[in-house]
Every structure is written in structure tokens, then in C-alpha cells.
Amino acid sequence: MSANVDIEFRLNGVATRAKVPAAMSVLDMLRDLLGLTGTKYGCGEGECGACTVIVDGLSINSCLMFAADCHGREVMTIEGLASDPAADRLKKSFVEHGAVQCGFCTPGFVMQAHHLRGKHRHLGEHEIRRGIEGNLCRCTGYKKIIEAIADTGAIAG
Amino acid sequence: MGALEKVTDGSLIGKRIPKKDAPEKASGKTRYIHDIDLPGQLHAKILRSAHVHARIKSIDTSAARAMPGVHAVITAADVAQRPIGVAKDHLPLKSGLVRSMRDEIAAVAAETEEIARSALGLIKVDYEPLPIVASAQDAMKPGAPLLHGEDLVVPGPDGKPLVAHKASLDNVAMVFSYMQGDLAKGEAEAQVIVEDVFQLHYVTHCCMGVSGVIAEFDASENLVLYSNTQVPFLHKREFAEMLGMDAGRIRIIQPPIGGGFGSKLDIYPFEPIAIYLARLTKRPVKLVFSREEEFLASPTRQPVLLKLRSGCTRDGTLTFRDVETVHDNGAYTSWGATTPFVMMQTISSLYRVPNCKYHTRAVYSNNPYAGSFRGYGNLQATFAVEAHMDRLAESIGMDSLEFRLKNAQLPGEVTPQGMHFKSCGFQDCLRVAAERSDYQRKHCEYRADWSDGNAIKRGIGMASMLHVGGGAKIYPSDGCGTILKIDDFAHVTLLTGASEIGQGSETVLAQLVCEELGLPLSAVSVVNNDTDITPWDVGVHASRTTFIAGNSALGAARKAKDKILAAAAAKFAQPAEALDLRAGCVVEKASGKKLVEISKLIRSLHFSDKAELVMTTYYYEPPSQHQDREFRGDVSAAYAWATQVAEVEVDTQTGIVKLVKVTGAHDVGRVLNRLGIEGQIDGGIVMGQGYALTENLIIEDGVVSNPSFRDYKLVTAPEIPEMDVAFIETMDGEGPQGAKGVGEAPAICVAAAVGNAIYNATGVRITALPFTPENVYRALHSNSQPPVWIDAA
């Protein structure tokens, strides 16, 4: 049992307070404490990307970050993309390109793709393949995910 | 729309239709089992064995029971257990012997997962370690410890002792023997004979959503199970037998499933354990694996040692094939032991081979046990058979494509095993895949480069596959039921027994119904996940859902259409045969002239003196046969075919094999949803790539030594090959709109094609998987021994 820590941060644009055990991961905080289940547990050790969220503009595996370290930061999850028109286009592209099968990895891919679109001036196939290499998918063989992201292109440039 | 306006026929068949549930999934709104919490729910964890093989001397759970927040701790002593699994050789909680490192010894239900996990640490188990049987080879040695050397006796339904599983006194769990023709005659006729031993390794499913279950009893002792099963209706019955309760009181609800691939066809101990705990605590109990547990305690693909002798004449006619296999069954028997059913189809019937013998044994060991996995033995059989097609062609100096074409099945053939190929695009698959990949030219060219001194070699290889594509009649029924209702607004609710595991069945079924009823896709909701609501289906396996559930949905839609057209015929005084349903309207078939909107017609039926609703039911049973005792029979209503060509780059200095391109030609009957079928094939190819090149569940003395994605290498996005896939549309007469099953097919030939490509690149034939850099390097530098056959036993 670990001591609790009081934190304040912005979650999907909303000022948020939470009391979190010191050893709790961001993933567990999101899912178990805050009820945001769109972020998925796939491995718990940063190897599959199913739990990808964006913290202060960086995409991270939320299973590897302490919840207490969210204090003072900006955290964006898949639920936070609901009100972002640029993300709508991305999600629609995943749907229309057949990039979704069982869907368990999909929120993580959408978050990573959203991050890549903001980061790269040019988002070609090479950048996309490299950019999603930390996300595992067992259903699609990645091809349609790559196509879905390529079709939306970068938003940074 | 004016009354006389024509409506056009916008067929959905063959179009690129996005998956119906994809918007929810892409938004993170889909609630998988992991995302569901019931009020009052407890969390369960399982204590697994600390030894691979041991006798349990004592278990002390007192400290765990005393821990605050713990509601129940159970061991085998606390529950009346009945066996699970294909051979009923397996009790969920172990007493006496533990036979593998995944063996379940005790389980805790507690307020939180953390408390449950801590409580496990307080359970003391005293073991007497026993000698480890580390492989099938070890298990077959004279004097090897017997893993199921005693009868498994449990209380029967009448309370009297019942032998659930007979002792195995030679560690053999299951035996299959098949024979066609006269092997001696075939050998005598052969002018060239080749023989090899192949070793196929352990891999596991790696579903992105880990295993989980929630069990709850209501106040009247009815069980509700939230389960990821692929076979809800079969499991209802199995759970009922196991729990000694009426199957009618078990309801199975399937939340969306985070990947299946065959892994969820059997009952595994964690499911009964959650049920025992729910019954004991009278609270909902949720049990979800960690990823490490998923690697340790999930089924694997069946590892196989396979000896193959093949022969042909100098003109390129196959004369015989003689196959013997040993399957490492692991500690208990699950579906993996029955993969020979499928393997023998490839061995006997992919090519015309008049004389054929197949003998196989599944042998107990202290290893993890194998379940069903996409392809079901066919990857293993195809790997060996297709290596020999290349070897034989080379031995007689014949082009390897020509050799295959000479022996490939044709439409209309009935094989000695009794399979009837009513539609068969195999020859087209071979020609199209070869042409699109420039196979013949490259195959000659790359071979000529063997001694050119370059470290990087290119190679191209071909393999083909035969798989069931119209269901598989394994159970008493291979059917699927549908209930269809159309409401006053012409919205259709399709209740199907068929489960959705990400493959897109709900979209294809909706498409077929819309096509029949002339409605847009948005007019259909599909309900497919609740045994109290949906009609019976045998399960999502054997690439059967599009074919079987599709025909069932079509049957229900046709009955609804007949009813609507009959009503319209009466109303407009025209014969029903002259009418059709298009774009939401009843139209004149010949002119396309709109007569009335379907919704309006349905309302007039409903709100009339007769007050009728449009509701139909249909049960589709495919016209296939059960195999007889000698494994003969036309077990599927249709068969799928494919040829895949792999092009590789082999770095002879590092052993790294890069899969550059896969060209596939698949006989799918007919493309129903182009987007969906491409997704199935892409995904299958990449899963096959993993089997060939990267995935390897390493098991040493019964211990899985790489239970994580860090050490178990799945293919990632930068590594996927270029994929070029052609569809051969043979319009199967029995298939829905001509379609055949495709789910498993694309994973089956990749490893075989890659093996042939590595040979074409280097001149070295590697007969053991996986083709990891280390294994390939050793093989190329004469630093490894090919697999050897077991001569013992």
C-alpha cells in the first residue's frame, strides 16, 4: 500500500483534481479512478501502445508513467479527441479505410496518429511506419492503418 | 420522390463497406470485458504452480483467508469439480499433481485486484518436485514419468464415482490414422522419393485484449457469464455439465472481443474458477489476466514434429505421400490435439495424390497445452507439403509451377478422402499468383545467383493451401439461426447466433440482408452477443461465419421479402414475381417503377384488421457430411483455395530474412465486402509472417522464458511486406451470393512460401521454424542439425 498524492492537472482540457496512490500508473488512474476506459491495458510494460495518451504534447505509454507525475501537466486521452474536428477526420479515416477490426488497439493508434500529425511537417509512409512501430495490432497487418493515417496527412505544416 | 420515379439498383456486394462498429471502436467508446464493472463486483486472481511437475503435499490458505478485503479463497478441496477440455483430462483447480507451470492451485476473490494479488502471496504450498518431461521426445522414452498415469475419477451426475478420463500408460493422449490407396504401390511407382523431418514451433495468439470473464449468479441461482468465448452455445452446455446445473439457467453475454483467432474455443480453468468464486461469495466476480499471465496460461499453436516421404514419377505425377507426426500435447488436452483433422486434408487432398498414409500421435508433456489457432494445423502441414512440392520438382528438373499445376485439384473432383470440390479456383490461384509476382522468371534468376559472392541474396517461393470454406461438420449441427424483424419504419433488427470477434461478420450479414431487402446499410442493427436473445450457432471457428451465418441471414431476409412482396402484390394487383425491393421501396421489377415505400407498406400491414408484423426466422444447416471413422466424408459445403508467393532478401552474413513482398491469389467464391476481405488477408499474411520469421514462444524444461512482448516478437508496422492480393471469384453455388469462407486462409501458406524463398535465395533448405536470424545463420553456415525423428516408442 502506498501513500496517496493530491494532484491537479488538465485532463482533456478540463481542470482535474485527483488523489492517487504514489505507485499508481496514469493508465490505472484513467481507467479505475476516472472511468475513462478508452485507454486500454495491453501489456503494462510499454511494449504495445494500447494505452497511448498525450502528455504536454508528447505521446507516452500511460502504463509507464506515474499518475502523480501528471501534476501540473496537460493530459489528452482518446475521449478528449471527441471535440477536436481534426481528430474527427482521423477517426473517420480509420473507419473508412478498414483500419479497425477487433478495435482493441485502435484508440492507441488513433492517439499516436494524432500525435504524429501534429509533429511532422511531412507525414509520408516512412514517417508513419516508424511513428507507429510502438503500437501492436494483431488483426489488420497494419496496412490499412498506415493508409488511414496517410490519407489524413499532417496538420503541423 | 414522385410516384413514378425509378429507383436504381445500388448493389452493396463487392463494395468497400466500413465496419459497422468501427466508429465506436475508433472513439474508444466500445466497452470490452475489461471496461465493464458490475455493482458489488469482486476481483479474482489465480495462484499458479511454482513447479513444472510436482506433487502437492499441502496447501495452507489460512493467512490469505484472514487478510482484510478477502472474501473467498478456494482450492480443489473447496469445490466439487468436473473436468474440462476436449478429452476431459483436466480439473480447473489441481490437487495431487501439477503438470505445468500454468497449473491453477488456488484462487482468491477480494475487494480489489491489489488485495487479491497480495493474498496470493500468503498462500503456502508445499511441493514434492517430480522429474520434468520436457518434450514429446522425452515423454515417449521407455520409463518416462507418466503424466496421466491414473484414471481421473470424479463424482458423476448421480453422485457415484465416474471415470472422466482413462489413464494413459504411454503418455499418448490422442492418435489419428488415415490411409488412402496403396502406399506400397505408390512407392513402387515413384521414380523420385524425398524425405525430410520438419519441426514446427510454439507460437501463441497474442490477442490485444487479454483473457477475462465476469461471473454472476442472480437471486434465483441463474448464472450470467460475461465471456469472450467464440462458442457461446456450446459452452452453455459444457458449463452446465461442469457445474451440474440446468443449461437453461445459464446466460452467456459476449461483450466486444479484443481478438480471438481460435484462442477462445475451449473452456479454460479461469472461467470455472470465477464461477466457483461467484457462487461462493454471491457477488459478481471479475477475473482478468495480466499480459504475462496471458503468455503463460493461454493456449499455443500445436508444436509438431513431422516426417514426410513423398514420391513422384519423372513426368511429374505424384504417386504417394507418407506422413508421420508427433504433437507435443502439453499437460492437458485441448483442441490442439485434434488439429490432425485439418492437417490430413492438406496431406490427402491439396494435390492429387492417390496413395497416402498419415499417422499422428499427440503426446503429453509438462509443457503448456495447445489450443486451436487460426489455420488449425494447416500451417504446419502446408509447410511440409509445399517444401516437398519444390523438392520433387527440382529432383525431376521440372518447373515448380508446372509441377504444381500438373497435380493441382480441379473443379468437380471428389478426393479419396471424400471431399467434393464443387467450386475450385486452385489452378487459377496458381497461375494468377505466379503471373503477378513474375514467379517463374525470378525463380530461375535468383537461383542462378547462388554463387555470385553477394552477401545479400534474393529469393522467391510459392505455396498454396486448401481449407474449409463452407463450415466444418464436426458437431451434430454446423448450423446458425437468425431472427429478423422489420419495424414500422423499415428498420431491420437482425438477431444472429454468429459471434463477432473483429472479423466483420456483423457488417457482412447486414450487407446480405440489405441486398435482399433493398434497404441501406444504416437500416440494419445486428444483435449477436447474448444466448438468451440470439438463436443457436455452433460458434465462430473454421472460417464459417460468412458462409453459414450469411446463408442463415439470407434465408430470413428472403422470407421477409416474400411476405412484403405478397402484401404488395395484393395491394397493387400484380403478381409478386413481377415485384422487387429496391432503395427502400417496392418496385416493378422490369421497369423499376416505384409503387410504395417499404415502411409505408409495413405500417399498412401492421395497422390493419389482420395486424401483422414482419418477423421471420431461419435456420441454415449446410449440406455437408460428418466424416466416418476412417475420416472420409465431405466435411465442408465449400472449400477455399489460395496461392501465395513470397519474395525475400536473405542477409547471409547475419541470417536476417526480410519479407519484401507477398503476392496472393485467393479463391474466395465471391468478394462480399472488399474492405473487410482485404483486412482479413492483410492481417492473415502478417500473422503468417510472424509465424515464419519472428514469433517463438521459448519453452525450456516446461518454463516459458519469454512471456512478454519485449521478448516475444510480434511483427510491427515498419516490417510488413508489400502485399498484392488478387481475388479469384468462383461463385460457389452454395455460398451466400457465391462467397466462401476466408478467415483462416491467408495465414496458412506464408511460412511455407518463405521457406521455399529462402531456399531459392541460398540453396539451403531449412526444415525447422522459425526463420529467426540465429536459426537462419546457423543453417547457412552448416552450424545446425536438421530436426531428427523420434525413433523411441
Lowest mean pLDDT among B32-36, B250-254, B690-694, B789-793: B789-793
Question: Which among A31, A63, A79 is the end of a domain?
Answer: A79
Rounded Cα distance between B657 and B754, Å, is 9
Residues from chain A that touch B28, judged by Cβ atoms under 8 A, are: 37-39, 77-79, 106-107, 110
Same domain, A90 and A72: no
- Domain of residue A74 covers 4-79
Same domain, A25 and A91: no
Residues from chain A that touch B747, judged by Cβ atoms under 8 A, are: none
> B318-330 and B355-364: which strand pairing?
parallel
Q: What is the pLDDT of residues A72-102, one digit of tens each?
A: 999 999 999 998 998 999 999 999 999 999 9
Same domain, A9 and A75: yes
Same domain, A74 and A88: no
Q: Residue type for A72, please?
A: G
CATH number at residue A47: 3.10.20.30
Instruction: Report yes or no: A40 at the B interface, CB cutoff 8 Å.
Output: yes
Residues from chain B that touch A43, judged by Cβ atoms under 8 A, are: 291, 708-709
Given this model, what pLDDT does residue B1 score? 37
Kind plus residue range of the DSSP H or E element containing A126: helix A125-131
For every residue of B669-716, DSSP letters joined together read SS-SBHHHHHHHHHHHHHHHHIIIII----EETTEES--STTTS----
- Answer whether residue A1 shows pLDDT above 80: no
Given this model, what pLDDT does residue B4 score? 42
Q: What is the pLDDT of residues B164-190, one digit of tens each?
A: 999 999 999 999 999 999 999 999 999
Q: What are the Cα distances from residue B426, in Å, to B394, B437, B464, B666, B755?
A: 22, 17, 8, 8, 21
- Answer whether residue A154 shows pLDDT above 80: no
Alpha carbon of B45: minimum distance to chain A alpha carbons (Å) = 17
Closest CB from A37, A81, A142 relative to B35: A37
Number of CB pairs, chain A paired with chain B, less than 8 A apart: 164
Alpha carbon of A32: minimum distance to chain B alpha carbons (Å) = 9
Given this model, what pLDDT does residue B737 score? 97
**Considering chain B, what is the average pLDDT of its residues?**
96
Q: What is the pLDDT of residues B325-360, one digit of tens each?
A: 999 999 999 999 999 999 999 999 999 999 999 999
Q: How much is the average pLDDT of B205-227?
A: 97
- 3-state secondary structure (DSSP) of residue B595: strand
Given this model, what pLDDT does residue B6 score? 53
B484 beta partners: B494, B616
Same domain, A60 and A114: no
Residues from chain A that touch B709, judged by Cβ atoms under 8 A, are: 43, 45, 47-48, 136
Residues from chain B that touch A82, judged by Cβ atoms under 8 A, are: 27
Percent of chain B with pLDDT over 70: 98
Instruction: Report yes or no: A21 at the B interface, CB cutoff 8 Å.
Output: no
For an interface test with B, the pick among A84, A104, A127, A140 (most B C-beta atoms closer than 10 Å) comes out as A104
Q: What is the pLDDT of residues B511-537, one digit of tens each?
A: 999 999 999 999 999 999 999 999 999
Looking at domain B473-620, its CATH class is: alpha beta
Given this model, what pLDDT does residue B661 score? 98
Question: Which among A34, A57, A79 is the end of a domain?
Answer: A79
Given this model, what pLDDT does residue B367 score? 98
Give CA angle at B628 (B624, B631), nearest 5°.
Answer: 90
DSSP helix, strand, coil percent of chain B (3-state; round to 5): 30, 25, 45
Given this model, what pLDDT does residue B159 score? 83
H runs (alpha helix) in B573-652: 598-606
User: What are the cell numbers at A55?
Assistant: 502528455
CB A81 within 8 A of CB A87: yes
CB A139 within 8 A of CB B680: no
For every residue of B686-698, DSSP letters joined together read HHHHIIIII----
B770 prior amide bond cis, ω within 30:
yes
* Predicted complex ipTM exceeds 0.90: yes
Domain count, chain A: 2
- Answer whether residue B265 shows pLDDT above 80: yes
Q: What is the pLDDT of residues B44-84, one digit of tens each?
A: 999 999 999 999 999 999 999 999 999 999 999 999 999 99
Q: What is the pLDDT of residues B643-673, one digit of tens each?
A: 999 999 999 999 999 999 999 999 999 999 9
Q: Is residue A157 part of a domain?
A: no
Closest chain A CA to residue B255 = A102
Q: What is the pLDDT of residues A93-131, one digit of tens each?
A: 999 999 999 999 999 999 999 999 999 888 999 999 999
CATH number at residue A104: 1.10.150.120
Q: How much is the average pLDDT of B762-783?
A: 96
Alpha carbon of B114: minimum distance to chain A alpha carbons (Å) = 9
Please list, residue by residue across B474-488, b when 16 or more beta carbons sit within 10 angstroms of its beta carbon and e when fewer do.
Answer: beeebbbbbbbbbbe
Percent of chain A with pLDDT over 70: 97
Q: Is residue A156 part of a domain?
A: no
CB A2 within 8 A of CB A23: yes
Q: What are the Cα distances from residue B374, in Å, to B14, B101, B379, B425, B507?
A: 24, 25, 9, 22, 21
Q: Given an 8 Å threshold on Cβ–Cβ distance, is B502 in contact with A103?
A: yes
Q: Is residue A155 part of a domain?
A: no
Q: What is the pLDDT of residues B576-591, one digit of tens each?
A: 999 999 999 999 999 9
Alpha carbon of B453: minimum distance to chain A alpha carbons (Å) = 31
Residues from chain B that touch A31, judged by Cβ atoms under 8 A, are: 35
Q: Given an 8 Å threshold on Cβ–Cβ distance, is A141 in contact with B687?
A: yes
Q: In terms of residues, how long is chain A?
A: 157
Given this model, what pLDDT does residue B8 score? 52
Q: Given an 8 Å threshold on Cβ–Cβ distance, is A142 in contact with B708?
A: no
Domain boundaries, chain B: 473-620
* Chain position carrying cell 487479454: B210
Closest chain A CA to residue B686 = A141
- Answer whether residue A3 shows pLDDT above 50: yes
pLDDT band of B7, cuts 50, 70, 90 = low
Same domain, A98 and A71: no
Same domain, A44 and A102: no
Closest CB from B16, B27, B683 relative to A140: B683
Given this model, what pLDDT does residue B10 score? 75
Residues from chain B that touch A116, judged by Cβ atoms under 8 A, are: none
Closest chain A CA to residue B503 = A101
Question: Which among A58, A79, A100 is the end of a domain?
Answer: A79
HEC readout, B525-548 = EEECCECCCCCCECCCCCCCHHHH
Percent of chain B with pLDDT over 90: 96
Same domain, A53 and A96: no
Q: What's chain B's Rg over C-alpha atoms?
A: 28
Rounded Cα distance between B676 and B663, Å, is 18
Given this model, what pLDDT does residue A156 score? 60
Q: What's chain A's Rg over C-alpha atoms?
A: 15
